[in-house]
Amino acid sequence: MTADEPAGRWSRWSGPLVLIVAAMSFGSVAVGTLLPSAAERDLAAFRPTEQRPDPSTTIPGVAVEPVAPHEHDVTGAQPVAEPCRPPTSGSHGPAVARCDGAAYPAPVPPAEAVHALEHGAVWVTYNPALLPPDVVQQLGARVADGNDLLMSPFPGLAAPLSVQSWGHRLVMDTPADPRFEQFVVALSGNTFVVPEPDAGCPPA
Among the listed ranges 9-18, 107-116, 160-169, 177-186, which one has the minimum average pLDDT value?
A: 9-18
- Residues 81 and 165 occupy one common structural domain: yes
* pLDDT at 37 > cutoff 80: no
- Residues 1 and 92 occupy one common structural domain: no
Does 193 fall in a domain? no
Domain count, the chain: 2
For residue 119, the model assigns a pLDDT of: 93
- Residues 73 and 95 occupy one common structural domain: yes
State the DSSP string of the chain.
--TTHHHHHHHHHHHHHHHHHHHHHHHHHHHHHHSPPHHHHHHHTTS--SSSS-GGGGSTT-EEPPPPP--SS-TT-----BTTB--SS----S-----EEEE-SS---HHHHHHHHHTT-EEEEE-TTTS-HHHHHHHHHHHHTSSSEEEEE-TT-SSSEEEEETTEEEEES-TTSHHHHHHHHHHTT-TTSSS-TTS---B-
Its domain, for residue 76, covers: 48-187
Does 74 fall in a domain? yes
| Residue 1's pLDDT band (cuts 50, 70, 90) | low
The 10s digit of each residue's pLDDT in 114-145 is: 999 999 999 999 999 999 999 999 999 999 99
* pLDDT at 41 > cutoff 90: no
